[in-house]
Structure 1
């Protein structure tokens, strides 16, 4: 009986983290689309602007993948599978944040 409780606690924590990744990554997809529309509305689109919006579009796809993976964690019934998929969703989400940060840095440094 005491062995079931730590597993239940782990399962609740995993679902809690997955829920945060799910909501945040879906918001980040919308943010990426907004940034792309702002970058494309600037006058004189240059080479760097198309590189930035391409990079942000890749970031949006990465965030969408993190959203799908976290949804899979929320739907999963197996604890071991939940741990693996949740770790993958974490990594994919951090990759998306890194891509977005690099794209923003490229955009800012070319404007200056």
Structure 2
């Protein structure tokens, strides 16, 4: 019997991480597709699509670990997976902002 003195789990957090991360994978796919269209038309290269692709992978890892936390029964594993999913989600959101900044400055320089 696991006797943790930790606060009760917030299952809603894992549910939110799972749903938002899954949606953000689709947003990243759309962004990469649009960047490929713009770069093909203008015949310019950018590093932004690589950043957004890594971002999509981080969101996928976050979603999968949140899903695993929702499906597991061991309390200690749930805590570890919940923290991991949360940290991957935050890292993906930070990288998303970096990608937005990069795209904004790249678009201003290349297309403006």
| TM-score normalised to structure 1 length | 0.84
Paired residue total: 103
CA deviations on 1:61-96 (whole Å, 9 max, x unpaired) are 110000110001100111111111100100001111
How many Å separate the matches in 2 of 1:104 and 1:46?
A: 18
The residue that corresponds to 2:105 in the other structure is 109
How many Å separate the matches in 1 of 2:80 and 2:72?
A: 11
Pick aligned residue for 2:53 from 53, 57, 63: 57
Once the two structures are TM-superposed, the CA of residue 57 in structure 1 deviates from its matched residue by: 0.5
Pick aligned residue for 2:27 from 6, 24, 31: 31
| TM-score normalised to structure 2 length | 0.84
Question: Cα RMSD over matched residues?
Answer: 1.8
How many Å separate the matches in 1 of 2:33 and 2:60?
A: 18
Q: Which runs of 5+ in 2 are unaligned?
A: none
How many Å separate the matches in 1 of 2:43 and 2:16?
A: 36
Q: Which runs of 5+ in 1 are unaligned?
A: none
The residue that corresponds to 1:16 in the other structure is 12
The residue that corresponds to 2:78 in the other structure is 82
Extract structure 1 runs of 4+ deviating beyond 4 A: none
How many Å separate the matches in 2 of 1:74 and 1:85?
A: 9
Question: Which structure has more helix as a fraction of its residues?
Answer: 1
Once the two structures are TM-superposed, the CA of residue 10 in structure 1 deviates from its matched residue by: 1.4
How many Å separate the matches in 1 of 2:43 and 2:97?
A: 20
